[in-house]
Amino acid sequence: MLRRLSCCGLLLLVGFQLLAQGCASPGGKAAADSLTGKSPAAFWQEQLRFPRVRAAQAGIGAELATRLHAHALDPKKLEVFIRMIKSRAELELWARNQGGGAFQLLKTYPLSATSGTLGPKRRSGDYQVPEGFYEIDRFNPKSNYHLSLGLNYPNAADRALGEPHPGGDIFIHGGEASIGCLPITDAGIEEVYLLAVAARAAGQAVIPVHLFPFPITETELAKRRNSPHQAFWRGLMPGFVYFEQHHDVMRTEALLVAR
């Protein structure tokens, strides 16, 4: 954490503060559910009711505010996008100002543990990390793994393509263990969680999360031409290519068709 702040940095910190899970703990799911339906203006204050969120904000809020300022990002207009490429074993956090054009890479977070292999998640207990186009649907401030952000897995495509029991409760979380989730250490999840809260409080209703097996290019697909997942991966390709070209997220309707 920065020990000293310039006047500009202090103002950013004030603004950042005013914006104001199986990974869910016992009672954690209820805690996460209790936060849904809140207005954006109230969301930050609701999150600050929880000790871990308050501690994270006190510890790294100033540093995050300074990082946003360095990228010309306004916390009151913040919009974020999360991407993970399995072969790189790291989670990317992209950000922009609402209406501000292309996303810019804010930081990458190495996964502290991995599970499964390349390929989508299709059944409960397969230890696979999902692949496809998702969004954050839960904020869990009482996770067994410090803090966690839930993905809307299984989505409609997973239910259509997967087995009768596709599983669930896939989270980005702290700690160093994975049974299909995305752990980025306690320190990593504090940053990602606070920035996601800030974006939600700034009015971003949908925080997209794209999960890919590898950079989906013709070269990479050719290396895996005998994989049974070839057709599925090609269905993800338009979303990957569009973001690479534009640093923007393809419209949801187009992604659904591509999937």
List residues with catalytic annotation: 173, 181
Nearest to 211 by CA among 150, 105, 120, 110: 120
φ/ψ bin of 99: left (φ > 0), alpha (ψ from -120 to 50), beta (otherwise): left
225, containing H or E segment: none
Task: Give the alpha-carbon dihedral of 37, 40, 45, 50, to 10 degrees.
Answer: 50
Per the DSSP assignment, residues forming a β-bridge with 55 are none
CB 23 within 8 A of CB 169: yes
* CA distances from residue 205 to 107, 121, 214, 251 in whole angstroms, order as listed: 22, 26, 28, 15
Q: Report residue 65: phi and psi, to 5°.
A: -60, -40
Q: Give me the phi and psi of 27, to 5 degrees please.
A: 85, -15
For residues 195 and 95, is the Cβ–Cβ distance under 8 A? yes
- The residues near 131 (Cβ < 8 Å, ≥ 6 apart) are 86, 119, 120, 121, 211, 212, 213, 232, 233, 236
For the beta sheet containing 90-97, the strands, ordered from the edge strand earlier in sequence to the opposite edge, are: 104-110, 90-97, 78-85, 208-212, 132-143, 146-151, 171-173, 182-183
| Coil, strand or helix at 85 | strand
